Amino acid sequence: MANYYLKMDNIMKNMFVVALNEELKAQREQDGHAEETETLLKKVREYDLAEKRLQITAGEQRQIRKALNRLRSKYLAAGRYSDGIDKVILQVARPNTTRHMFW
């Protein structure tokens, strides 16, 4: 599988944790099968912000996008703005494939 690198900050990390928690709850209610999401949630929680780049696989990228879309839908249903979530979804959809980023 391909490895991707996401430039992470504290806000993005917190958004991932909230979105993955919501996804975990939804998966447990539907079929109870949530080991992959639990593993990814643990990986994100233990991520050290000093590294600046979170390494993820294509499957993990798919899980994060799904979780962020669910969080976005929840915000829109509640009448809240989803601009921040939209921005993060775009960053996750176009991750870097190399650890060395020039900015």
pLDDT attached to residue 103 = 52
CA torsion 13→45→96→102, rounded to 10°? 70
pTM of the predicted model as reported, rounded to 2 decimal places: 0.88
Q: In the predicted model, is pLDDT for residue 44 greater than 60?
A: yes
Give the model's confidence band at 41: pLDDT under 50 very low, under 70 low, under 90 confident, else very high.
Answer: very high
What whole-number percentage of the chain has pLDDT above 90?
A: 77
Q: What is the DSSP string of 36-85?
A: HHHHHHHHHHH--GGG-EEEEEHHHHHHHHHHHHHHHHHHHHTT---HHH
Q: What is the pLDDT of residue 101?
A: 56
**Is the pLDDT reported for residue 102 higher than 60?**
no
Q: Which of 65, 82, 83 is nearest to 73 (CA)?
A: 82
The H or E element containing residue 88 is: helix 83-93
pLDDT at 47: 94
Q: How far apart are CA 30 and CA 25, in angstroms?
A: 9
pLDDT score of 74 = 95
CA distance 33 to 17: 18
Average pLDDT over residues 54-60: 92
How far is residue 103's CA from residue 96's CA, in Å, rounded to a whole number? 12
